[in-house]
Chains A and B, each alone.
Chain A
Amino acid sequence: MNNFWMRIPLTSNYAAAYAAKDVDVDVVAAYPITPQTPVVERIAEFIANGELNAEMVHVESEHSALSACIGASAVGARVFTATSAQGLELMHEILFIASGLRLPIVMAIAARALSAPISIWCDYSDLMATRDASWITVIASSAQEVYDSIIQMYRVAEDPEVLLPAMVAYDGFIMSHTYEPVYVAKDKAPILEYTPKNFNNRYRLDPENPITMGAIADPNWYYEFKYQQVLAMRKAYEVVKKADEEFGRKFSRSYGFIETYKIDDVDTAILTYGGLYGTVQETVDILREKGIKVGAIKLRVFRPFPQHELFNAIKNLKHLVVLDRAITFGGAIEGPVALEIATLLKFKSLDINLYNYIVGIGQRSVTEQDIIGIVDHVSKFIEKKIAPMESIYWGVRE
């Protein structure tokens, strides 16, 4: 099994490019934007060197990037694109069309804060703004996970019972530009065995079998199409699970919907997503040395939201600290993941105190010291037996 891989230093951006190469994409249509640019550049190099046999469409905007991906995917091609922040916003309209047309497009997101003011640095506001777009959404915490997840997502997206587009996100700069050792395939064959191409199991533009795609649906019909999408997203839950398990069987690496770290003996756990999880794990160890027992939970799959796995992980907790790296302004709670978890707590009648801390906005540094400070801050609430009624903006200067 180890013969499949070579271990090379890659940034998460390059890991994404390698994944696109190793699934043998047919068309790449992408527009450069910081901090995603190296993805596009590396793919261009692969094609120029003959390592990837694909058409690269050097589109003139992100809106056209996803549009070209839709056109290509509709013909039956396997497509890939990548973007961040403003680019993701520019293609926002097309996100819904891609999922509405049920096309298995896979996109890498180097998560970056949204303008205004303009920021090229990391936070998850761009990703969170796509919540309702009906894209399967995975948030990776390592370059290896980026590589593996993109490969998994082709298999999931192209499953005839799913046929929804998927995005794999990772921290802009913090992960996109830092090197980690990554196992990548020496040869595409085992990867293509895991996610074989078969465009005949979905509707496509084919002169031999002419169909119309993208009709207008009046009030008598629209609802039914959306319901089909609802069911596809629900089905994606099982398919994501199976794809990850199969990946584990074949390649000895699997990730699940969530990951937990030392939560079996704790009352309090800290939940976060993306690269910050590593820092939280480090902090858990530091605190345990000091005699403070906390655990860590990583949310990997954001859509479809893994209620079942989260429920099992948190049901015995008394306190759950959610570190959000995006803001949902004016929300009942202002952290988007905290909002989802609050709903979970209510649905499952869990009596757990929820503490939402907003961190890392615009790549404001979050260190172990910050997380220790947060745990201390939470302990004061626990002492006074009160739970905060608002999200807390850790580190904002007055």
Chain B
Amino acid sequence: MSTPTLYRSIFELPREEYLSPGHGLCAGCLAGTIVRMVLKAAGPNTIVVTPTGCLEVSTTPFPYTAWKVPWIHVAFENAAAVASGIEAAVKSLQRKGLIDPSKKINVVAIGGDGGTVDIGFQALSGMLERGHRVMYVLYDNEAYMNTGIQRSGATPFKAWTTTTPIGKILKGKIQPKKPIGEIVAAHRVPYVATANPAYVIDMMNKFKKGLSVEGPSFIHVLQPCTTGWRFDPRYGIKIARLATETAMWINWELENNEVFRVTVSVPKRKHVKHYIRAQGRFNHLTDQDIEEIQKFIDKEVERINKMVGREVIGPIVE
């Protein structure tokens, strides 16, 4: 793929805003941060598709919209299908000269874990298989937040949600988090990456790369949710950072199904308890539960280090 010009510092980030304030996202909702950044990377020649979810509902209650680029919402499970149709239409109309063929129009789908990993999975897989030139950004707050914090396939192991409540017999989600990044990678698309708003330059460059490929790209972004994960809104970025520092969230990218990189190395890792104890949704976890999670993460770290060929994520020091 032709590498686009990457950002080296925050000062190089575009200043123009394509999301207006006044929207109804929760105070401290990192989806706002993430979307502002996506739009800066994509610019004004962008058509955005959003499935039903927090982002859609909070940014477009008639008669107000926060979007300054063309934007469409259709349903919950079809953002990838709608994006496919948009991409096909742009291609066809440009080929027929009905719209300016010299203008590159980005098609970006921005969906939550509900509309991407679960109900939207089929449409996503179809879009990836067909090879549409669409960048799909998944803002992952690890539950169906818009409808009030119900579990999704992306909810992590043992997390509290309203449908995986803490009771006498069952405590939290019993299944692990669906590895959507790896599933997308298995489709062998030109670019797949995970990103974290606490590492803005890394995240922005991944958006840039995603927008530059001739085919589908998928950027899985962690979005700590103050309302659903139960933490004071001011700690959003801090918790996002802890996710990477504990290796509970690894920032990687896969180019052309060939080159795999861990783009944020963690030479000195923190124990997962720092990440887990910072969130109310894990309040019920015993020290034993946390050790179980730590063992799982240790295995993951070993696997990733092996894949990369060197120790990009180091031992626990804290």
Q: Which residues of A contact B (CB under 8 A)?
A: 26-27, 29, 53-55, 57-61, 63-65, 67-77, 79, 93-94, 97, 101, 197, 199, 205-207, 209-218, 221
Q: State A197–B89 Cα separation when bound (angstroms).
A: 14
A-B residue pairs in contact (CB < 8 Å), sample of 9: A26-B89, A57-B130, A60-B122, A64-B126, A67-B123, A205-B71, A207-B44, A217-B61, A217-B62
Q: State A63–B60 Cα separation when bound (angstroms).
A: 24
**Residue from the list A29, A54, A61, A197 in contact with B98, Cβ < 8 A:** A197
CB-based contact B75/A93 at 8 Å: yes
Complex interface: chain B residues within 8 A of A79 (CB): 85, 89
Main DSSP-derived SS at the B contact region: mixed
CB-based contact B81/A59 at 8 Å: yes
Q: State A27–B84 Cα separation when bound (angstroms).
A: 11
Q: State A215–B65 Cα separation when bound (angstroms).
A: 8
CB-based contact B75/A207 at 8 Å: no
In the assembled complex, the CB of A102 is this many whole angstroms from the nearest CB of chain B, namely 13
CB-based contact B86/A60 at 8 Å: no
CB-based contact A71/B83 at 8 Å: yes
CB-based contact B72/A61 at 8 Å: no
Complex interface: chain B residues within 8 A of A76 (CB): 89, 93, 98-99
With A64-B78, A207-B70, A215-B65 in contact, is A53–B95 under 8 Å at CB?
Answer: yes
Q: State A37–B33 Cα separation when bound (angstroms).
A: 46
Residue of B56, B83, B84, B96 with most partner-chain A CB within 10 A: B84
Complex interface: chain A residues within 8 A of B93 (CB): 26, 75-77
Task: Check B175 for interface membership: any CB of A closer than 8 A.
Answer: no
**Residue from the list B77, B86, B129 in contact with A205, Cβ < 8 A:** B86
CB-based contact B60/A216 at 8 Å: yes
| Residues B56-80 near A (CB distance < 8 A) | 56-57, 60-63, 65, 67-75, 77-78, 80
Complex interface: chain A residues within 8 A of B65 (CB): 212, 215
Q: State A209–B98 Cα separation when bound (angstroms).
A: 16
Complex interface: chain B residues within 8 A of A54 (CB): 92
Q: State A73–B92 Cα separation when bound (angstroms).
A: 12
**Residue from the list A64, A97, A101 in contact with B123, Cβ < 8 A:** A64
Q: State A84–B49 Cα separation when bound (angstroms).
A: 28
Pick the 3 closest A-B CB pairs, nearest first: A71-B85, A68-B85, A60-B126
Q: Which residues of B contact A (CB under 8 A)?
A: 44-47, 49, 56-57, 60-63, 65, 67-75, 77-78, 80-86, 88-93, 95-96, 98-99, 103, 105, 122-123, 125-126, 129-130
- Chain A minimum-CB-distance residue to B18: A210
Q: State A68–B75 Cα separation when bound (angstroms).
A: 12
In the assembled complex, the CB of A55 is this many whole angstroms from the nearest CB of chain B, namely 4
CB-based contact B81/A213 at 8 Å: no
Q: State A216–B83 Cα separation when bound (angstroms).
A: 19
Q: Count contacts between A and B, CB distance < 8 Å.
A: 166
In the assembled complex, the CB of B23 is this many whole angstroms from the nearest CB of chain A, namely 12
Known: A67-B82, A70-B74, A74-B72. 17 other contacts (CB 8 A): A29-B88, A60-B122, A63-B123, A68-B81, A71-B72, A72-B88, A75-B90, A76-B99, A93-B75, A205-B71, A210-B44, A210-B69, A212-B65, A213-B71, A214-B60, A215-B62, A215-B63
- Chain B minimum-CB-distance residue to A69: B85
**Residue from the list A71, A214, A215 in contact with B86, Cβ < 8 A:** A71
- Chain B minimum-CB-distance residue to A225: B62
Q: State A27–B86 Cα separation when bound (angstroms).
A: 10
- Chain B minimum-CB-distance residue to A207: B45
CB-based contact A55/B89 at 8 Å: yes
Q: State A147–B73 Cα separation when bound (angstroms).
A: 33
Q: State A199–B93 Cα separation when bound (angstroms).
A: 11
Q: State A217–B63 Cα separation when bound (angstroms).
A: 8
CB-based contact A216/B57 at 8 Å: yes
Complex interface: chain B residues within 8 A of A63 (CB): 77-78, 81, 123
Complex interface: chain A residues within 8 A of B129 (CB): 60
**Residue from the list B47, B61, B82, B91 in contact with A68, Cβ < 8 A:** B82
In the assembled complex, the CB of B48 is this many whole angstroms from the nearest CB of chain A, namely 9
In the assembled complex, the CB of B281 is this many whole angstroms from the nearest CB of chain A, namely 27
Q: State A199–B63 Cα separation when bound (angstroms).
A: 24
CB-based contact A55/B91 at 8 Å: yes
CB-based contact A212/B88 at 8 Å: no
Q: State A72–B80 Cα separation when bound (angstroms).
A: 12
In the assembled complex, the CB of B136 is this many whole angstroms from the nearest CB of chain A, namely 14
With A64-B126, A94-B78, A207-B47 in contact, is A27–B88 under 8 Å at CB?
Answer: yes
Q: State A367–B71 Cα separation when bound (angstroms).
A: 53
CB-based contact B67/A215 at 8 Å: no
CB-based contact B81/A206 at 8 Å: no
Residue of B61, B67, B93, B105 with most partner-chain A CB within 10 A: B93
CB-based contact A71/B84 at 8 Å: yes
Q: State A19–B126 Cα separation when bound (angstroms).
A: 27
- Chain B minimum-CB-distance residue to A75: B89
CB-based contact B74/A207 at 8 Å: no
CB-based contact B77/A70 at 8 Å: no
CB-based contact B86/A213 at 8 Å: no
CB-based contact A221/B63 at 8 Å: yes
Q: State A75–B71 Cα separation when bound (angstroms).
A: 10
CB-based contact A64/B81 at 8 Å: yes
With A67-B75, A207-B47, A211-B70 in contact, is A26–B84 under 8 Å at CB?
Answer: no
Q: State A349–B93 Cα separation when bound (angstroms).
A: 52
CB-based contact B74/A97 at 8 Å: yes
Q: State A75–B89 Cα separation when bound (angstroms).
A: 7
CB-based contact A26/B72 at 8 Å: no
- Chain A minimum-CB-distance residue to B125: A60
Q: State A65–B126 Cα separation when bound (angstroms).
A: 11
CB-based contact A67/B70 at 8 Å: no
With A26-B92, A71-B89, A197-B98 in contact, is A59–B126 under 8 Å at CB?
Answer: yes
Complex interface: chain A residues within 8 A of B70 (CB): 205-207, 209-213
In the assembled complex, the CB of B15 is this many whole angstroms from the nearest CB of chain A, namely 18
CB-based contact B82/A55 at 8 Å: no
